[in-house]
């Protein structure tokens, strides 16, 4: 499956490398702002986007009893986000009320979802941080989402942390934050980032041995790329 190959490639690269690759293509605003992992040290989060969008809550339509409705869109998103996807939540960059809590996030994990990101906050954040599940938010938030947010749409284009996210876009999250890769260029970006990562490994080896970055990073010295090709062959990497 092509998308599985993309996911496997993206698991081997950093959000910093992706940001550079997208910048070279003129995409300067693909990093979700003010969002961070609840806990460092977890595997890279990679998956296609399934989205949930909130609007400001209207009190007469958003009482606590609304959660009894099985068609409540927050519940729908949790039960329908496909395995291997990332649930991306548009909480209007407002963490005064929670986007979700530990029960719903645990349910996502048990269903095989690849991770979750909101530009708002999560309640039960300490519990979520302990889960074997990549989770990203702005900051902890105790109040229920009903006090501020009203779920209005699932799997439609959203804005998350000032970034446009379309269903099916590829989402990558690591210790630095979360990047959004447009679906139509994800394959080429994944391959280029993989090659960039190999070169950065080569550069790091050189720098650790005391070599200057001039001519090396970026590779403006013609001999540098020849050395890189030899390094790849020695490592058993295929040349592209």
Average pLDDT in the 133-153 region? Answer: 95
pLDDT, position 2: 59
Backbone φ and ψ for 224, nearest 5 degrees, come out as -60, -45
Give 169-197 pLDDT, tens digit per residue.
999 999 999 999 999 999 999 999 999 99
Residue 1 has pLDDT above 50, yes or no: no
User: Terminal CA-to-CA distance of the chain, rounded, Å?
Assistant: 21
Give 29-72 pLDDT, tens digit per residue.
999 999 999 999 999 999 999 999 999 999 999 899 989 999 99
Residue 75 has pLDDT above 80, yes or no: yes
pLDDT, position 238: 64
Per DSSP, the three-state class of 105 is helix
Give 106-129 pLDDT, tens digit per residue.
999 999 999 999 999 999 999 999
Contact 85, 106 (CB under 8 A): no
Residue 227 has pLDDT above 90, yes or no: yes
Residue 239 has pLDDT above 80, yes or no: no
Residue 240 has pLDDT above 60, yes or no: no
Cα 105 → chain centroid: 16
């Amino acid at each position: 499956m092509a998308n599985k190959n993309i996911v496997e490639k993206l698991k081997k690269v950093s959000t910093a490398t992706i940001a550079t690759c997208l910048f070279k293509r003129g995409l300067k605003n693909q990093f979700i702002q003010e969002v961070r992992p609840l806990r460092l040290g977890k595997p890279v989060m990679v998956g296609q986007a399934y989205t949930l969008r909130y609007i400001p809550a209207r009190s007469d339509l958003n009482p606590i009893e609304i959660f009894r409705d099985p068609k409540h869109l927050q519940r729908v998103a949790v039960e329908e986000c496909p395995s291997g996807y990332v649930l991306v939540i548009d909480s209007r960059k407002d963490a005064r009320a929670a986007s979700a809590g530990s029960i719903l996030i645990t349910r996502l994990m048990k269903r095989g979802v690849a991770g979750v990101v909101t530009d708002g906050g999560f309640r039960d954040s300490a519990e979520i941080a302990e889960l074997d599940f990549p989770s990203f938010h702005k900051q902890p938030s105790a109040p229920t989402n009903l006090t501020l947010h009203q779920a209005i749409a699932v799997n439609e284009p959203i804005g998350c942390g000032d970034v446009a996210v379309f269903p099916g876009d590829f989402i990558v999250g690591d210790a630095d934050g979360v990047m959004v890769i447009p679906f139509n260029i994800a394959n080429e970006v994944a391959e280029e980032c993989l090659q960039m990562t190999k070169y950065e490994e080569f550069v790091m080896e050189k720098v650790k041995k005391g070599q200057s970055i001039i001519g090396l990073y970026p590779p403006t010295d013609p001999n540098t790329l020849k050395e890189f090709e030899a390094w790849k062959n020695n490592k058993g990497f295929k040349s592209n």
